[in-house]
A and B are shown apart, each in its own frame.
Chain A
Amino acid sequence: MAAGGSGDVFDILKDASSPDTIAAQRAAQKAHDEEISIKAQRRAAETIQGHSSQPVYFDSITILGAPNTRRSFLERLVKPALDRSDQGDFTLKDALRELSKAINGLQHFEIFNPNIPFYLDTPSDYNYDPRSPNNPIPLSAVINVKERSRVLLKSGTDLGNTEGSAYIQGSLRNVFGGAEFLHLSFSKGTRTRSAYDATFTTPINSSPLAAIELKGLSTARDNSHSSHTELSRGFIGTVRWATPAYKLKQSISYEGLWRTLTELHDDASNSVQRDAGDSMKSAFTHLLTRDTRDNPILPSSGALLRLRNSIAGIGPLKGTVAHWKSEAETALAYPLFKGITLSSSVRGGILYPLALSGDAAPKPSTIADRFHIGGANDVRGFQTGGLGPHSGKDSLGGDAYVAGSLGLLFPFPRVGTDSGLRLQAFINGGRLLALERPPEVQDMNIAQGMKYTVSRLLTEAPSLAAGVGIVYGHPVARFEMNFCLPIGVRGTYGEEGAERARKGLQFGVGVEFS
């Protein structure tokens, strides 16, 4: 500015209502307020610090602002704090810890605004007796919550594994006043052609760590890699619980799914034609996850362990498919130096056919139950379902697999590690086999066949691909653009039964990469 000195001040005064000035004034005011509040907090903290060993007890805990929440639900949430206080030997520090636990619980249910202030006071009829300072002081705590709106409607777009979708969702929060959720959604995507589901979730015994989820669903999924569309409708009931200290999550679920393989392509292979039509899967699944990774989308340290076991069709489960399906997955991220991260993963699974109740012998697995591996966020350098047995262009899937990857993530030049951008180099591979009979054995059982198949899986060279690319880890999903080249593949291009590799650029979007 040409004019200097007092002219500036004059200009500013004259122009006091300019947006810049107002913004500056607001910022200054805000900074001032924050300073006062920080000072107040510090003073409070000092006061508490000074009296942290003061014996106290809870005279009352009041939760304000929750007219639509059941009293019994809230009582169970604050009960641990009251019980602890009743045991005696309770200090102000303990009281604060117990209160913050209860507040964490309240926040977890997502039925209140996350900012939950609380106040501590003594009851109005209490008079402090200075002669006996070690007598426990009664406290009345007030937790001030604000219920979030009960009805939530939203629409938007979503990124899942290997697909993008658009959705409409309606949620009913705190349905019966106990943090129950009713969630209805309809989505349409690139691979999941349509999905309707209705989910009801309720915490178990007011615990933020355990919940029951009941879900009804109807989906149509485009399995182009196997020349068909898969319709599923049914019910899934899940009980889940977590151990926060060990970052361990577990769930047991029952699913009853009516599946229909339909709309076969004209050139669908015989295997797909044989498995087309209806089937009923009735299964129990146990899932265990231990995840210590710092960021599941773009981890730089930590480990993941996931074990999944399901049993379908045996005994009272009925249904039309019977098997034991077991999968294990581990992933490890290790920071090296200069922001470079080493990441690796190994996973594997088997599908063991069992006899349906009422049947004498097991039936072979169907394409809907078998494993299909390969794809941009699975085994890169292969097409979706590109590994394992094929017929024509169809992935037929396999009954046993192993897959693994080893990669290095480098910070993007001149951008640093704070952004989600990375460069990567990887080598990954896998092996997928259908249950096979050992060549020299004549009369044998499934256990022998599975043993033979798994031994082939572990002793023979996997199909491999390597590549370099760019990764962008957005909080919602991870994007990858890689240049891949297959190294070892089963069959040559165009050969019947050959695996389907992908040379050149491959684009991947998803929440889970291996």
Chain B
Amino acid sequence: MTASPFQDALRAPTFIRHLFSRFPLIAYPVDPPPMSVEDFQRFTTKTAAVAEDSIYTLYSFTESTDSSIASFNPACLKWQTYLKIRNISFKTHPSNNHASPSGSLPFLTISPPSDRISQTIPSTKLARWIEEQDKAVAAVNTVDTDGGDYRAFLSLVEGAIRDAWLYALYIDPSNLSTITIPKYTAHTPTWPIPHILGSQMRQAAIDAIRKSTSSSTTTLPTGTELYAKAIEAFAALSTLLGDDRWFFGANEAGLFDAEVFAYTHLLLRLEVGGSAGGDGGLVEGLKEFGNLVGHEERIRRRWF
């Protein structure tokens, strides 16, 4: 490598470099890092906690470090499910969006036991990372994720169903106060933090629905409208699934199955009430589609 004259000028004179290379005179061994919550539990309680030896940790909205406890957030649950489908052994770690380099959960960290440095993989790069893990592949789901059909159905999940979910969980006041706020602010239950974070989350959901439905800044679609669209989407998904075990007639579950499961599981299991519960609500609407309920149960029984 040839140094430019500029770099040459910036280089310290030889005697300085020579002097610096002699210091520090003494190098002591490195000190241990502060203890984590898990270290601490082992430290204070005499029984050693059952240590999951996985080097992979999925930071997500969850209450547990056990990867078979489902996350209460669809985006996290989708990747949690897909990692399980692909037979990658991992543990989960309760976290929040501030921890993520991309600004949103989930993300995966890899901490080899030999090394104190860990590597971080954001959710946007998770699919590709999983493909690169040769030992992790359980069975190949050969659905063409670039096909027009796939994209059309994916947009149903990420559009109509997500909007209805956001409305039900973040805008409906009863679900916001009984499910969303307690779950997302479990680590900071002190007044007024849950209250402030709750209204911030609600505003973010309103903005997301507006963006997704391209509605004006003054009007927002009503819950009934959004739920009706989501039920239409479920009907289309139900027709697509038909009597197959997995979507698109695949032999094994894939990313799309994880995607659908993330919503169906939470809608069916989270005891969503308010405007989304009861007759004519989102949850009852979903229950009409027996094959989607069966699909949820198949994944739940096998991986959770």
Interface of A toward B, CB cutoff 8 Å:
258, 260-266, 268-271, 273-274, 276-280, 282, 318-320, 361-365, 367, 370, 388-392, 396-399, 433-437, 442-446, 449, 460-461, 463, 485-492, 495-498, 501, 503-504
Contact = CB atoms under 8 A, between A and B. Distances in A.
B132 to A, nearest CB: 20
Interface string B41-64: 101111000000000000100000
Nearest to B197: A278
Contact of B24 (A319, A435, A501): A501
Contacts of B59: 273
B28 A370 contact: no
A499 B222 CA distance: 57
10 contacts: A270-B109, A280-B190, A280-B193, A398-B31, A434-B31, A434-B32, A442-B46, A485-B20, A489-B28, A490-B29
Nearest to B40: A364
Interface stretch (B67-75, B95-103, B145-153, B258-266): B95-103
Nearest to B187: A320
B187 A277 contact: yes
B25 to A, nearest CB: 5
B95 A389 contact: no
A397 to B, nearest CB: 7
A92 to B, nearest CB: 60
Given A269-B117, A388-B31, A434-B34, A487 B26 contact: yes
B43 A437 contact: yes
Nearest to B59: A273
A423 B213 CA distance: 69
Contacts of A265: 101
B118 interface: yes
A503 B117 contact: no
B39 interface: yes
A94 B26 CA distance: 66
Interface in B84-131: 93, 95-101, 109, 111, 115-118, 120
B188 interface: yes
Contacts, number: 160
A203 B297 CA distance: 68
Given A278-B187, A434-B35, A488 B25 contact: yes
A389 to B, nearest CB: 5
Contacts of B25: 487-488
Given A273-B95, A363-B37, A391-B117, A445 B44 contact: yes
B56 to A, nearest CB: 13
A277 B98 contact: yes
A495 B24 CA distance: 14
A370 B27 CA distance: 24
Contact of A273 (B30, B40, B44, B99): B99
Contact of A446 (B44, B46, B111): B44
B31 A433 contact: yes
B36 A364 contact: yes
B290 interface: no
Nearest to B21: A503
A266 B37 contact: no
A262 B200 CA distance: 16
